[in-house]
Amino acid sequence: MNLPSHIQQHFSQIPEFDLEAFESLEAGNFPTIIRLNPGKLNASPYQGFNIQHEASAFVLNERPNFGNDPLWHAGAYYVQESASMLAGAIAQQVLSHHTQPLVLDLCAAPGGKSTHLASVIHPHGFLVANEVIQSRHSILKENLKKWGSDAVATTQRDPEWFGEQTPHAFDFILVDAPCSGEGLFRRDPKAMEEWSEANVNLCSARQKRIVMDVWGALKPGGFLVYSTCTFNRSENEDNVAFFAEETGAVVVTSQFEFLAPERINAEKTGFRFTPYSGPNEGFFLAVLQKPEESLKSKKMGPAKWTEVKSEKFPSFLSQFSLNERKIIETPVGWVSVPAEFLPLIHHLKPSSWGGILGTMKGKDFIPEETSALLLGFQPENALELDLEWALKFLQGETQLPLSGTQGWKTITYQNVPLGWVKEIGNRMNNYWPKGWRKR
């Protein structure tokens, strides 16, 4: 790695950072890691080895062409930097005794950590995946839809909205903050050109604002995980000390030391991952707990959705897993949601939902084009395709092998549902979303 002198100088001032080891890395050469979707896959489709803090993750021996793997399009696994998986691993620890955990991923796009959190809390909890920047919403929605949990909604709100409008609501909040990105220099050497001391200061101030603004939304006794993909102390340890000082939070990172014992910092307030000490890029993560105090949670008004009564469910819906779910009518169709969270969801006014099933048209139920990707979906009429045909389906091809019977069919690949087609006469309509089509 060729570091410009001002960055060398900056890194040399970070305690616990080995500048020489960092410079000896090869730019652009980074490991490929996947995390399996436990609702869709129970073994890695590629050869690899496990990482310590996440049993469902595999460091692959080679980088496959994921675009040519229908299982990747089906959300059967997610390609993710391994240190980032510590956030989900910690959520798993702290939420394991909660029966209905409510989780906020405040800075969620493109959704790597959200998909992990969705797995951790499925099916009894609920995840709000928030992304304030409009242009980053479509990729967040796509990744979450492919992951398939109906216990998820996305929102596009400022952190302070949650602090003010959903006080003491969340058991767990992840703030994966926008940062100066020093931990990504190996992967994306161009990021160095955008780096400056002034930007570090700007990021640090913004991170302080974000955490302070959302803090009110955390339940007393609840946990906030703060993370960045940068190395400097001002965005990491110094900010964590600031949060504790300002809010009275207790820094409890050391309770989770067992998850990655070699990565905890000297003062045991945060985990520091460096690309020269494992199969990961740079990452920092700390865990804060809110002290118990009197509960002031806002009473959410009654949910004003129109609920679809189970007597009205068409038989088509028996393919979906609707345990402990309510079905509500929304402008985007019938949506499956965990019953418990309806008032909160109503208050949030989500920008999108995980559990859009489809809609009634006259006497027929028309499935939403991504609903075959939902967890627990058991197709009544599956049309299993081999690799070549599955890729054609993902390209939007309509000349697929016909089953000979009319109506809705679910395309599957290696028995994992992908999407819908409808056979009409001797042709087929392909409902794989146009915006997701493989070129």
The phi and psi torsions of 356 (rounded to 5 degrees) equal: -75, 120
Among 31, 112, 148, 183, binds ligand SAM (CB under 6 A): 112
Kindly list the distances between the CA atom of residue 169 and the CA atoms of 34, 140, 291, in Å, as whole numbers in the listed order: 32, 23, 15
Given the complex with ligand SAM, which of 178 and 343 has the nearer CB atom? 178
Question: With binding defined as CB under 6 A, does residue 64 bind ligand SAM?
Answer: no
Q: Which long-range contacts (CB under 8 A, 24 or more apart) does 200-205 make?
A: 200/10, 200/230, 200/232, 200/234, 200/235, 201/234, 203/177, 203/178, 203/179, 203/230, 203/235, 204/234, 204/235, 204/238, 204/239
**Radius of gyration of the chain measured on its C-alpha atoms:** 23
Find the DSSP H helices in 234-275.
Answer: 237-247
Residue 148 within binding range of ligand SAM, rule CB under 6 A: no
Q: Identify which of residues 111 and 354 has a Cβ nearer to ligand SAM in the complex.
A: 111
Closest CB to ligand SAM among residues 76, 428: 76
State which of residues 159, 355, 358, 419 lies at the interface with ligand SAM (CB under 6 A).
Answer: 159
**Smallest gap, in angstroms, from Cβ of residue 378 to ligand SAM?**
30
Cα distances (angstroms) measured from residue 392 to each of 27, 395, 408, 411: 35, 5, 18, 11
Least CB distance from residue 84 to ligand SAM, whole Å?
A: 6
Q: Is 163 in the site for ligand SAM (CB under 6 A)?
A: no
74 binds ligand SAM (CB under 6 A): no
Tell me if 288 contacts ligand SAM by CB under 6 A.
Answer: no
Among 70, 111, 216, 354, interactor with ligand SAM by CB under 6 A: 111
Applying CB under 6 A, among 21, 55, 133, 205 the residue interacting with ligand SAM is 133
The enclosing H or E element of 428 equals strand 427-430
> Which of 54, 150, 176, 423 forms a contact with ligand SAM (CB under 6 A)?
176
Binding piece for ligand SAM, criterion CB under 6 A, among 30-38, 127-135, 363-371, 383-391: 127-135
* Residues 9-28, interacting with ligand SAM (CB under 6 A): none
Compute the C-alpha angle 373/377/378, nearest 5°. Answer: 130
Rounded Cα–Cα distance for residues 340 and 424 (Å): 40
Binding-site ranges for ligand SAM (CB under 6 A): 84, 106-113, 131-133, 136, 159, 176, 178, 206, 210
